[in-house]
Amino acid sequence: MRIISKNKQALLNYDIVEKFETGIVLKGFEVKAIKTGNINIKESIVKIYNDGQIYITNMSVPLYKKTNFKIVSWYEPKGTRKLLMHKRQIRKLAERTHKTGLTMIALKIYENKKNLIKIEIGLGKLRKKVEKKQILKERDVNKQAQRDIKNLRI
């Protein structure tokens, strides 16, 4: 498994309750662009529409550098793209988001063992500023403790 892109900001801004793996519908030149690492999922949000389909919005996939722009002049880098999940899973996600007010966020995009592009979606609750500050403070304390331990060994 090769991780192509991570959304580190989502782990700070949201308290992730559950994670799901989904496939994504892409065009050939989009696959090439993603596999070269030319993607941004920081602002992306996952939504379920009334037709029972799940889509990702604001995922930025710029045009592959060797693609002829005249052929794909219709292409939108930040367009919505369909995600592939079982209907039961989509219904379960829809219930949880409507009842509990959780948000679906793209956490990372990666290639699996079969070289298929997959997206990991997190179901999470938005954190408050105080909680974010506390998490950052705990990280700093842990880093400093690790440095002190490392210096004691030498």
The span from the CA of 121 to the CA of 28, in Å, is: 23
119-131 burial by CB neighbour count: b if 16+ within 10 A, else e?
bbbbbbeebeeee
Could you tell me which residues come within 8 angstroms of residue 30 by beta carbon, excluding any fewer than 6 positions away?
A: 61, 64
Q: Note whether 22 and 84 are within 8 A (CB).
A: yes
Give, for all 154 residues of the chain, the pLDDT tens digit. 889 989 888 888 888 999 999 999 988 888 888 888 888 888 888 999 888 899 999 888 887 777 766 667 777 778 888 999 999 999 988 888 888 888 899 999 999 889 899 999 999 888 888 888 988 899 999 999 999 998 887 6
Tokens of 100: 């509990």
- CA 32 → CA 21, 27, 65, 115, distances in Å? 21, 9, 9, 12
Q: Residues 94-105: pLDDT tens digits? A: 888 888 888 899
pLDDT at 70: 66
pLDDT at 106: 92
pLDDT at 66: 73
Q: Residues 126-154: pLDDT tens digits? A: 888 888 898 889 999 999 999 999 888 76
pLDDT at 87: 92
Q: Going from the N-terminus, what domains does the chain have, and what CATH number goes with each?
A: 2-127 (2.40.280.10)
pTM of full prediction above 0.75: yes
pLDDT at 154: 61
